């Protein structure tokens, strides 16, 4: 340390002097001290005020310049030294040095700028202001085809510098994208895939840039998919595979890239990873299995990539994914069920899958999880069943297979995501299926639970689906028994509230169900209708100009239906419905104007 102090003193004197030899020996002493104890030496350098002297030593013509840049690079490894480096005015002369043709000067300058930018807002801003990133990007463009070891070392430093410069900073990442670094880096990866250090730098840079939506289009115009798949196939180490996965995941969110990845053979790589890790107990096996199966599911979210892998239900990938469902591994069960839900995104696929017995596999999976209770698996399997139940031809087949009975086993679940999917699955199943709607609608336990969930204010999705299923049970069964069950269960008030929903489709479903209740058992429903202020709700819907034609039409049908009840009739008279209805005779929608005439006659006749 004494030698260091002495060298620093000499440097302070010599930096203005041209005695290059003495300056050079001082710099050697500094580098040795930094090598021995970087932190301590850096503190000393700062304390003795040497940093502000360094800009004058960063002279492109001087032989000392690479050593000075090296010292700055070493000093900037310490977080506490980065801002002082910026304040000492080191950035502009360093950026100037990027125009040098000397390989060693470029290497040490790239290191110095990269280290100053690491996790330092001030460092990045100063480099941005001095235009450093643009020059480095140009260097990479002109050098990327050169495979000499010295050149690869320089490219590694430059890629690292751009990575530190833009890490976690959207605007600087966008700046690099606009400079066109993505196509250059992709080409670089293809040429230098044998160089581990450079490949890793490239991957980290891709990981940074791929998070930005604007980068996806540029990535899609390159052969990044082929390069990454080729690189993945060569890897044996877990860490390296993870690095590639971290780039693949954000890229695979883009539908064009999804298809490119499928065409490049990524799926086969993923299936391989799954096969090798499914029985593994090491943490890294479990992590890789999860990443690979999650990525597989993500690829299936693109319509084209999904259809390509489905191959009319005969695709080997589709068959392999099916085999995950009976697996003993929860992660694979989950991925398998999610994959089926993703394949089940068009009628043709759904019909084929139901005809080939997939429903049975999903029911067996759900049965295993009634007791084991893995919520994510329950949710995924129910999602798959819900999607499969959308085509009309599948509904009766799925009901015959006992889907409703298995789904009802989860009625006691306290998990909102499971409740939501359970409700959606039952609603899809009974659509146009009168017998099933009748059976479920007279199930007191189910109706009781639906009424309870209709009040789940904290979970809007569950609340909405419960109301819709309650309404669907009545609409599709048209059964007096179902209506009675709903009235006894206390469901009427919820359907009246549903009629005031902000979603027109829900308003309409509620009004049709209420119309059926009034038509099938007005006497039993009368008290609930009065208690829920049904008549004033209908008055509001008819008076509101924003109400859709079908809402107005069904509200008038309902008014006519409740006129048979004395207390409700009185309420109708008390609210001057005739004025509102007579205005609707001039409505542009013929069905509405015709119903307005009929309703007006009814109101006049019974007033």
Confidence at residue 49, expressed as pLDDT on a 0 to 100 scale:
86
% of the chain with per-residue pLDDT over 70: 96
CB atoms within 10 A of CB 50: 21
DSSP state, 121? Answer: H
Mean pLDDT in residue range 176-182: 93
**Nearest CA-CA partner of 98 in 60, 126, 144, 67:** 60
- Assess whether pLDDT exceeds 70 at residue 229: yes
pLDDT band (50, 70, 90) for residue 154? very high
pLDDT digits (tens, 9 = 90+) for 354-375: 999 999 999 999 999 987 678 9
pLDDT in tens, 256-273: 999 999 999 999 999 999
pLDDT digits (tens, 9 = 90+) for 182-211: 999 999 999 998 999 999 999 999 988 998
State how far Cα 362 lies from the chain centre. Answer: 25
Say how far apart CA 152 and CA 150 lie, in whole Å. Answer: 5
Answer whether 534's CB lies under 8 Å from 518's CB: no
Q: Once rounded to an integer, what is the mean pLDDT over residues 527-545?
A: 94
**What sign results for the dihedral spanned by CA atoms 549, 555, 556, 558?**
positive
Q: What is the pLDDT, as a whole number, of residue 573?
A: 87
Confidence of residue 2 (pLDDT cuts 50, 70, 90): low
Structure-block tokens of residue 140: 């990479």
Helix (H, G, I), strand (E, B) or coil at 218: helix
pLDDT at 133 over 90: yes
At residue 281, the pLDDT reads 84
**Residue-level pLDDT at 409:** 94
Name the least confident of 69-78, 357-366, 486-495, 576-585.
576-585
What mean pLDDT comes out for the span 455-480? 94
pLDDT interval class at 607 (50, 70, 90): low
Q: Smallest Cα–Cα separation from 473: which of 455, 449, 456, 457?
A: 449
Q: Return the domain boundaries, the chain.
A: 433-525, 533-606
E-only strand ranges, 491-535: none
Calculate mean pLDDT across residues 449-453. Answer: 96
**Across 474-494, average pLDDT:** 96
Higher pLDDT pick, 512 / 285: 512
pLDDT band at 60 (very low <50, low <70, confident <90, very high): confident
Instruction: Give per-residue pLDDT as tens, 310-360.
Output: 988 888 889 999 999 999 999 999 999 999 999 999 999 999 999 999 999
Which of 292, 358, 287 shows the shortest CA–CA distance to 325?
Answer: 358
Q: Evaluate if residue 499 carries a pLDDT over 90.
A: yes
> Who's near 17: CB < 8 A, 6+ residues apart?
23
Helix (H) or strand (E) holding 347: helix 347-355
581 with 600: CB under 8 angstroms? Answer: yes
Tokens found for residue 522:
């007005």
Sign of CA pseudo-dihedral 517, 518, 524, 529: positive
Q: Kindly state the tokens that stand for 130.
A: 């001095």
Local confidence band at 113 (pLDDT 50, 70, 90 cut-offs): very high
Mean pLDDT, the chain, rounded, equals 92
Rounded CA separation 607/604 (Å): 5
Distance of alpha carbon 326 from alpha carbon 227, whole angstroms: 34
Q: Comparing C-alpha atoms, which of 102, 115, 3, 9 is closest to residue 59?
A: 102
Whether residue 403 is predicted with pLDDT greater than 80 in this model: the reply is yes
* Averaged pLDDT for residues 84-96: 96
Report the distance separating Cα 446 and Cα 452, nearest Å: 10
- Cβ neighbours of 92 (radius 10 Å): 16
Q: What is the pLDDT of residues 579-592, one digit of tens each?
A: 899 999 989 999 99
- The whole-number pLDDT of residue 381 equals 96
3-state secondary structure of 55: helix
Contact 325, 316 (CB under 8 A): no
- Say if residue 515's pLDDT is above 80: yes
Tokens of 574: 């008390």
pLDDT at 19 over 60: no
Q: What's the rounded mean pLDDT across residues 503-507?
A: 95
pLDDT greater than 60 at residue 73:
yes
Q: Which two tokens stand for residue 500?
A: 């005031």
pLDDT of residue 48: 86
Higher pLDDT, 156 or 235: 156
Whole-number percent of the chain with pLDDT over 90: 78
What average pLDDT does this structure show over 134-155? Answer: 94
Average pLDDT over residues 14-33: 74
Q: What average pLDDT does range 537-561 have in this prediction?
A: 93
379 confidence band (pLDDT: 50, 70, 90): very high
Residue 249 has pLDDT above 90, yes or no: yes
């Amino acid at each position: 340390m004494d030698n260091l102090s002495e060298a620093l003193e000499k440097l302070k004197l010599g930096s203005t002097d041209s005695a290059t030899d003495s300056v050079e020996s001082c710099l050697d002493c500094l580098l040795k001290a930094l090598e021995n104890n970087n932190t301590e030496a850096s503190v000393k350098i700062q304390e003795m005020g040497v940093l502000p002297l360094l800009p004058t030593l960063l002279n492109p013509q001087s032989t000392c310049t690479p050593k000075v840049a090296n010292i700055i690079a070493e000093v900037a490894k310490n977080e506490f030294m980065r801002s002082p480096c910026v304040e000492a005015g080191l950035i502009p002369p360093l950026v100037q040095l990027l125009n040098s043709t000397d390989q060693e000067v470029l290497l040490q300058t790239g290191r110095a700028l990269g280290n100053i930018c690491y996790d330092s807002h001030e460092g990045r801003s100063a480099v941005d202001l001095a235009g450093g990133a643009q020059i480095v990007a140009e260097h990479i463009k002109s050098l990327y085809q050169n495979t000499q070891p010295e050149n690869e070392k320089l490219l590694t430093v430059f890629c690292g510098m751009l990575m530190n410069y833009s890490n976690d900073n959207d605007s600087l990442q966008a700046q690099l994208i606009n400079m066109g670094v993505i196509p250059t880096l992709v080409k670089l990866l293809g040429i230098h895939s044998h160089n581990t250090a450079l490949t890793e730098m490239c991957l980290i840079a891709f990981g940074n840039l791929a998070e930005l939506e604007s980068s996806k289009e540029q990535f899609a115009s390159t052969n990044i998919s082929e390069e990454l798949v080729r690189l993945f196939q060569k890897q044996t180490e877990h860490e390296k595979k993870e690095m590639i996965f971290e780039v693949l995941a954000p890229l695979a969110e883009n539908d064009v890239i999804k298809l490119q990845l499928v065409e490049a053979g990524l799926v086969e790589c993923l299936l391989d990873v799954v096969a090798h890790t499914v029985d593994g107990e090491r943490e890294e096996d479990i992590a890789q299995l999860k990443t690979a199966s999650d990525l597989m599911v993500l690829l299936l979210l693109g319509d084209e990539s999904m259809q390509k892998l489905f191959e009319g239900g005969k695709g080997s990938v589709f068959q392999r994914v099916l085999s995950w469902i009976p697996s003993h591994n929860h992660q694979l069960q989950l991925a398998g069920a999610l994959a089926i839900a993703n394949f089940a995104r068009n009628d043709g696929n759904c019909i084929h899958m139901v005809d080939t017995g997939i429903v049975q596999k999903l029911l067996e999976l759900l049965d295993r999880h009634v007791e084991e209770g893995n919520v994510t698996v329950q949710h995924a399997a129910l999602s798959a069943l819900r999607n499969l139940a959308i085509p009309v031809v599948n509904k009766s087949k799925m009901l015959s297979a006992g889907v409703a009975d298995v789904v009802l086993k989860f009625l006691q679940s306290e998990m909102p995501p499971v409740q939501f999917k359970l409700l959606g699955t039952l609603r899809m199943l009974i659509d146009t299926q009168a017998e099933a709607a009748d059976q479920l609608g007279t199930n007191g336990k189910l109706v009781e639970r639906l009424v309870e969930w209709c009040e789940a204010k904290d979970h809007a999705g569950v609340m909405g689906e419960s109301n819709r299923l309650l309404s669907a049970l009545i609409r599709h069964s048209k059964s007096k028994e179902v209506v009675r069950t709903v009235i006894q269960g206390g469901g009427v008030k919820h359907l009246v509230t549903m009629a005031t929903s902000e979603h027109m489709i829900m308003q309409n479903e509620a009004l049709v169900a209420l119309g059926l209740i009034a038509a099938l058992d007005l006497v039993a429903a009368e008290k609930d209708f009065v208690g829920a202020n049904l008549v004033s709700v209908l008055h509001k819907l008819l008076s509101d100009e924003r109400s859709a034609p079908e809402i107005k039409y069904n509200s008038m049908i309902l008014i006519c239906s409740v006129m048979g009840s004395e207390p409700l009739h009185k309420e109708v008279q008390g609210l001057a419905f005739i004025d509102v209805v007579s205005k609707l005779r001039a409505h542009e929608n013929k069905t509405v104007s015709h119903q307005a005439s009929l309703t007006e006659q009814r109101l006049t006749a019974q007033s």
